[in-house]
Chains A and B, each alone.
Chain A
């Protein structure tokens, strides 16, 4: 029973265009959602987060949108750069167990020059 799902294993976009990475969840107890980026041979790096009481959070080229009724969130990267090529993980945190994050299986983003 996977509570956080990233249904697209991979995504390829052209440099300068928008990258949209999607994530769905099933657990209504999740109160915070986070995106991490992972390069090969490195640990995940925190990118951006959003509280369940908000529907949008923006940080530079990165914007996360949350649709609570649909239990869906997305990460938008504009404009995409070749250095953004990595695996992106969506993660969620329960309000009753704030120390634990539940991760999706990741989406590999390739940004072509």
Chain B
């Protein structure tokens, strides 16, 4: 069974550009969450989508947006990239909107902004 898949695995962008990151959850999982992990820190919550609706948003600027498609895959979009957006972006999926058994994470997309 495929786990959570994210693409691309690595990406280099220039300041001011736009980026789109993609995530496919585990088959049957209806919830997708996005996290940003800066080097040396823990993952920080950006968004959660469940059944194609936004269920939660972290403390990130409006430059960050996301959506979930009918097949439950998701995109994270970041506009007007800043150097500080350089991070590992993690996608996590679960069957339901909340789980007591943790989320399944993908391996992440490493974004470097130069």
Q: Which residues of A does B touch, CB under 8 Å?
A: 4, 6, 32, 34, 36, 41-47, 49, 51, 89, 91, 93, 97-106
Contacts and interface: CB of A to CB of B under 8 A. Distances in A.
Nearest 9 CB-CB pairs, A to B? A46-B102, A43-B105, A98-B98, A103-B42, A99-B48, A99-B56, A100-B45, A105-B42, A99-B55
Given A101-B43, A105-B42, 19 more contacts: A4-B42, A34-B102, A36-B102, A43-B4, A43-B105, A43-B106, A43-B107, A44-B90, A45-B105, A49-B100, A89-B42, A93-B98, A98-B98, A99-B55, A100-B45, A101-B103, A102-B45, A103-B44, A105-B40
B81 to A, nearest CB: 22
A36 B42 CA distance: 11
A10 to B, nearest CB: 12
Contacts of B55: 99
Interface residues of B, number: 28
Contacts of B48: 99-100
State the main secondary structure of chain A at its contact with B: strand
Contact of A101 (B40, B41, B45, B108): B45
A41 B45 contact: no
Contacts of B41: 105-106
B43 A44 contact: yes
Nearest to B90: A43
Contacts of A97: 56
Given A99-B48, A106-B42, A46 B103 contact: yes
Contacts of A102: 45
Given A42-B107, A43-B4, A44-B90, A103 B100 contact: no
A99 B90 contact: no
Contacts of A36: 102, 105
A41 B104 CA distance: 15
